[in-house]
Amino acid sequence: MLKNKMQNISFNKINKFNKYFLIYLLFLGFCGIVFLYSKYDVSNDSTISEWLINYQGGFTRRGLIGEICFHLAKFFKTDLRFVIFLLQVFTYLTFLFLTYNFFKNLNINSFLLFVIFTPIFLLYPVAEIEVLARKELFLYIYFLCFLILSNPNSNYHKYVNLYIVIITPIVCMIYEEIILFFPFIVACLITQRNVKKFSTFFKICFLFLPSILIIIYFFLFPLTIEDHNIMKESLLSNFNEKCYMSCSLLIINDINQFGTMIDFMYGKNSTQDILKFVLRYFLIILIGFFPLFFISYHSKFKNENIFSIFKFENILFLILFLFIPVIPLFIFAYDWGRWVGMMISFSIFFYFFLYKYQYIDVDFKTMSNRLIFLMNKKKLVIFIFIIFAFGWNQKTVMSGDVATNPLWKVPYNTSKLIFGVKSFRIFQDSPLILWHRKYIE
């Protein structure tokens, strides 16, 4: 009788999470579509600029999606930007759909809610629309599909090797930064297959050889200035579209132009400014990652594998180890907010892969004891959750200050775009409205 009652409580909790998480993702999807539509024809929007990169001047990195958009627009004789908008919407909604299917039916408690709803994860692209529908979306979709295929309770996992060999090189042609997150994929395979020998580990790494060769090709044979000019002319002559932002920086933002990239990023900032940026993002990572770090610290693998050799006593140390290849992004690329978003996304998906398929034991009891001061204080926990999850988020570039109050700004700005008004104000000169105008708008 008691067992059935507990099962019913657990079942109700799961259904409740499914329901509200779906509503949350539908809200993000709706706002995302409105924001994408409002800015797809803005001439200086960087979200569009990286989708303009194509192969008209030759085979180059990040050009696959732009080439597809180029030919679709020509075939249907329509505006290139509108084609990009449609594909961005499709890609973003696909990501949200896969995210929901990955998290649904999980037994989620308060600790896990803080991890899922950290504002530097799902909320971030909608709160900072300069990040919305950027090409890292393809990396998330690729990783989520990989995790779904890796389900040990299905027959799909037998196709994982084929998926890596065939699909990963395609993803590399969309956004080569995926190479920095290969360790997360390898870590999943090691865990699932309970790898204990280095020979098996190297066999897994060999699956990524075609992808690595493609990325090496991009760096050894970057697009020349002449080829880049051909691409620019093709965009201009076919669609009256200028090659700007990410498109124009394609030949500068390259590993072969490391000195130029560093000067472009840091030349206008003093040492004091750079130290301020580093401190700010250290705090963003510390606070935004804290729920994941806290729960990972209290999570251990059920079975020994090759990670035991490195004495990873808990999942936290493994996650920190997997971050190492991502660190260079903070050195020669200034979209620090995006890199933090990519790190948290891969980390959360990786952790919940371990949790969902029961590869780890999680000591929720010890965590509860360490937060004993919050026991039986439901209202306080809810207040802390709202402030943490919806009270702030990082900006896009390293020099951007921390944004505030996305819980209000996202629906507020969406409403303005839908109704075509600049602002909603009743008492124009009241202190509250003046504060809102200065700090919110």
pLDDT band at 433 (very low <50, low <70, confident <90, very high): low
**What pLDDT is attached to residue 311?**
75
More confident call, 429 vs 408 = 408
Per-residue pLDDT for 307 more than 70? yes
Predicted confidence at residue 46, as pLDDT, reads 83
Cα–Cα distance for residue pair 126/22, rounded to 1 Å:
16
pLDDT of residue 435: 62
Task: Return the pLDDT at 138.
Answer: 97
pLDDT-above-90 percentage for the chain: 68
What's the pLDDT score for residue 187? Answer: 96
Q: What dihedral angle (degrees, nearest 10) is formed by the CA atoms of 377, 380, 386, 392?
A: -130
Question: Are the CB atoms for 124 and 396 separated by under 8 Å?
Answer: no
CA distance 10 to 5: 9
Closest CA to 193 of 156, 142, 146, 157: 157
pLDDT at residue number 2: 41
Residue 223 burial class via C-beta count within 10 angstroms: exposed 0-12, middle 13-18, buried 19 and up: buried
CB neighbourhood size of 345 (10 A): 24
Give the residue from 30, 133, 14 showing the smallest Cα distance to 413. Answer: 30
CA distance linking residue 80 with residue 316, whole number of Å: 44
Residue 149 has pLDDT above 90, yes or no: yes
Tens of pLDDT, residue by residue over 367-399, are: 999 998 888 899 999 999 999 999 999 999 888
pLDDT recorded at residue 209: 97
What was the pLDDT predicted at 163? 96
pLDDT at 334: 83
Residue 208 main-chain phi, psi, to 5 deg: -90, 0
Q: What is the mean pLDDT of residues 246-264?
A: 65
For residue range 65-90, what is the model confidence (pLDDT) as tens digits?
999 999 999 999 999 999 999 999 99
Amino acid at the residue 125: P
Supply 373's token pair.
């001061």
What integer pLDDT is reported at residue 394 of this predicted model? 94
CA 106 to chain centre: 21
* pLDDT tens figures, 11-44: 678 889 999 999 999 999 999 999 999 999 888 8
Mean residue pLDDT across the chain: 89
pLDDT tens-digit series, residues 116-132: 999 999 999 999 999 99
- Pair of tokens at residue 181: 């997150």
Count Cβ atoms within 10 A of the Cβ of residue 125 and give its class: 0-12 exposed, 13-18 middle, 19 or more buried.
buried
Q: What is the pLDDT of residue 3?
A: 47
pLDDT band at 153 (very low <50, low <70, confident <90, very high): confident
Please tell me the distance from the alpha carbon of residue 49 to that of residue 65, in angstroms, as a whole number: 12
Residues 220-240: what's their mean pLDDT? 93
Mean pLDDT of 254-278: 68
Instruction: Read off the pLDDT of residues 200-219 as tens digits, 9 standing for 90 and up.
Output: 999 999 999 999 999 999 98
Residue 411 predicted with pLDDT over 80: yes
The residues that bridge with 309 in the sheet, in sequence order, are none
